[in-house]
Structure 1
Amino acid sequence: MGVPPAIDDIAAQISLTPYQALGIPLALFGAVFLALGAQFQHRGVAKVEASHGSGAKAGLSIRELRALLGRPSWVVGTVMLGLAIVLQLASLRIAPLLVVQPLGAIALVITSIVNARATKTPLDGLAIRAIALCIGGVGVFVAIAAFTATERPIREPQLLIILSVLAVVTVVLGTVFLMKRRSANAIFYILAAGVLYGFVATLAKVVLNRIFTGNFEWLTMLCIVALLAAAALGAYFVQTAYSVGSPDLVIAGLTVVDPIVAVSIGIVVLGEAAQAPLLAMIAFLVAGAVAVIGVFQLAKHHPQTVR
């Protein structure tokens, strides 16, 4: 029995090759480890904050960061996040940013369910609706990207633009943190980490592509340095967000803000949506907006807020 003509027609329109499509399950497995790792890390941070914290929302101190290394739950969570990063890098290596980066939103569903069970606070209708908006928006975005996204060679001027914007963003976030660290809430830390991780994902894809094509020179080294610096600062913001917010809220922000930033770079700078029609670009914007609305609704209605 042959494949129905309608399915053949749909398959012919998908821009991904079978090899690139392997990035989708890799990204999904990475999302699972991201969700579980976030839950374990949050548990470790909460215990350290209770035993070593001063009660002031001024960011984690050096003493608290050292204490985290002695918390088994935090170490297990860190290992899981390490696996999530490896799987994400593998997916970025073989598939366009527009397709695989938003798939991390599945971590939101897992984290929300796990956190609701951990706190013995069931998800209410508002929280479920917020999750549905996040997942629905991201799902539509990825579906459109699968039909329109194409990878293009990354040129040096594009890399310089990305690095310049990242430098400005890092200075701005660092300045705001130093000025508002005692009054900043979880939303600031989540947004800051999500923005930085969006650049990290983009730079990771760039570095991997340049290494595998044998193009390893000073600009590649500069990208690696910028990647590590942004990842370190983003990781600090994430750990601090765990100390002042719930894991489902942190994951909600990261799984939407991170892809939006990375996808925006992919569209505007890397040209991955250059062949997408105007209708697809409008759909990208609408789907992204729906996902963002879901995040802000979840910020108001996640289990630890409504109990």
Structure 2
Amino acid sequence: MSDLSEQIALDPTSFIGIPLALIGAVFLSLGAQFQHRGVVKVEARTVDTLGKGLNGKQLALLLARPSWVIGTLMLGLAIVFQLGSLYFAPIIVVQPLGAIALVITSVINSRVNHVKLNRKSIIAIVMCVGGVFLFVGVAAFTAVDKPVTDRQLITILIILAVVLAVAGVTFALFRRRIRAVFYVVMAGVLYGFVVTLAKVVIGRLQQQEFEWLTFTCVIGLLLAMALGAYFVQNAYATGPPDLVIAGLTVVDPLVAVVIGIVVLGEASQAPLWANLVFVVAGAIAVWGVFMLARNHPQTRL
């Protein structure tokens, strides 16, 4: 047992983050289903905006839909559990565990809407979840949690500023041609930064450091969360909830994980074989998202 403990890079308390992340995934799945129902009902009763993005009136009507409000509250609980998991463990261990929400959402959506998933969609879901859990299985025994330096934080904020600019300009120029995959991928990317910045802020608070740079993190986090949330609602209007969850539980953690590995050095102690597994597992999961987008019986392409 002593030899095994020496091979585990994480402190034993870090494993507390795993069940918290799994509980958050359940709330994420239920919240997505309820929000999707609210968005579909609002869109059905207003002018069709497919490819144009939800307008201000539709966003206001969402607040009057009980299903959307319940879904939002559940997503709020998912965020609470997610932040709790990040308090205990590195990003690359707990964040990918949200993939379990994809399985739950797919089953619920299939039952609620009486839509039978085809063979290719099931294979895509297996690829998403399998790739993510392979990643987590290796990361749990090779990841390390490190304090974030000012230089690393500035790097993350600069990259986020570029991503926000690109997302905003792309949406403004091509909003009439945009479909679900764009919204799903961009929301996943933005939420990946939200998770990363949340982890940074938690770390700074643990270190009792809350200066202008940490405050800038909070502003960036809120901007990324707001734009990501808008893209998610548009994704619900143009695609099924399990496609949206596939993007959020694969693209989101992959972005956060890449930042965690490249910028924060959470995989600095991982051997070469582990890094190769990370690349292969990530590729499998991402390919699964695009397969699901192409083959899901409810996707509007």
TM tier, smaller: over 0.9
1:217-274 deviation line (CA, Å, top 9, x unaligned): 1111000000001100000000111011110110011111001100000000000001
Structure 2 residue aligned with 1:255? 249
Structure 2 residue aligned with 1:288? 282
Structure 1 residue aligned with 2:13? 19
Are the equivalent residues in 2 in contact too, given 1:198–1:262 (CA < 8 A)? yes
Letter in 2 for 1:35: S
Structure 1 residue aligned with 2:145? 151
CA drift of 1:9 comes to 4.3
For 2:48 and 2:139, locate their aligned partners in 1 and report how far apart those are by CA, in whole Å: 46
For 1:108 and 1:270, locate their aligned partners in 2 and report how far apart those are by CA, in whole Å: 27
Structure 2 residue aligned with 1:216? 210
For 2:58 and 2:249, locate their aligned partners in 1 and report how far apart those are by CA, in whole Å: 26
1:54 aligns with 2:35: no
For 1:215 and 1:272, locate their aligned partners in 2 and report how far apart those are by CA, in whole Å: 21
TM-score scaled to structure 2, two decimals?
A: 0.97
For 1:305 and 1:272, locate their aligned partners in 2 and report how far apart those are by CA, in whole Å: 36
Are the equivalent residues in 1 in contact too, given 2:240–2:299 (CA < 8 A)? no
**Alignment RMSD (CA, Å):** 1.3
For 2:203 and 2:130, locate their aligned partners in 1 and report how far apart those are by CA, in whole Å: 31
Structure 2 residue aligned with 1:76? 70
Are the equivalent residues in 2 in contact too, given 1:53–1:64 (CA < 8 A)? no
Work out which of the residue numbers 172, 176, 186 in structure 1 matches 2:180.
Answer: 186
CA drift of 1:94 comes to 1.1
For 1:165 and 1:150, locate their aligned partners in 2 and report how far apart those are by CA, in whole Å: 23
For 1:11 and 1:117, locate their aligned partners in 2 and report how far apart those are by CA, in whole Å: 44
CA drift of 1:131 comes to 1.0
Structure 1 residue aligned with 2:103? 109
Percent of counterpart pairs with the same letter?
A: 61
Letter in 2 for 1:212: Q
Letter in 1 for 2:76: G
1:90-117 deviation line (CA, Å, top 9, x unaligned): 1011100010010010010001111111
Matches within 5 A, 1:1-307: 9-305=3-299
CA drift of 1:18 comes to 2.2
Letter in 2 for 1:243: A
For 1:34 and 1:305, locate their aligned partners in 2 and report how far apart those are by CA, in whole Å: 20
For 1:9 and 1:130, locate their aligned partners in 2 and report how far apart those are by CA, in whole Å: 38
| Unpaired stretches in structure 1, ≥5 consecutive residues | none
| 1:9–1:197 CA distance, 2 compared to 1 (3 A) | same
Question: Could you say what secondary structure the match of 1:150 adopts?
Answer: coil
Letter in 1 for 2:185: L
Letter in 1 for 2:84: A
1:39-70 deviation line (CA, Å, top 9, x unaligned): 00000000000112334421111100100000
Letter in 2 for 1:120: H
For 2:77 and 2:223, locate their aligned partners in 1 and report how far apart those are by CA, in whole Å: 20
Question: Could you say what secondary structure the match of 2:177 adopts?
Answer: coil
For 2:10 and 2:18, locate their aligned partners in 1 and report how far apart those are by CA, in whole Å: 11
| Unpaired stretches in structure 2, ≥5 consecutive residues | none
Which range is displaced more, 291-300 or 149-158?
291-300
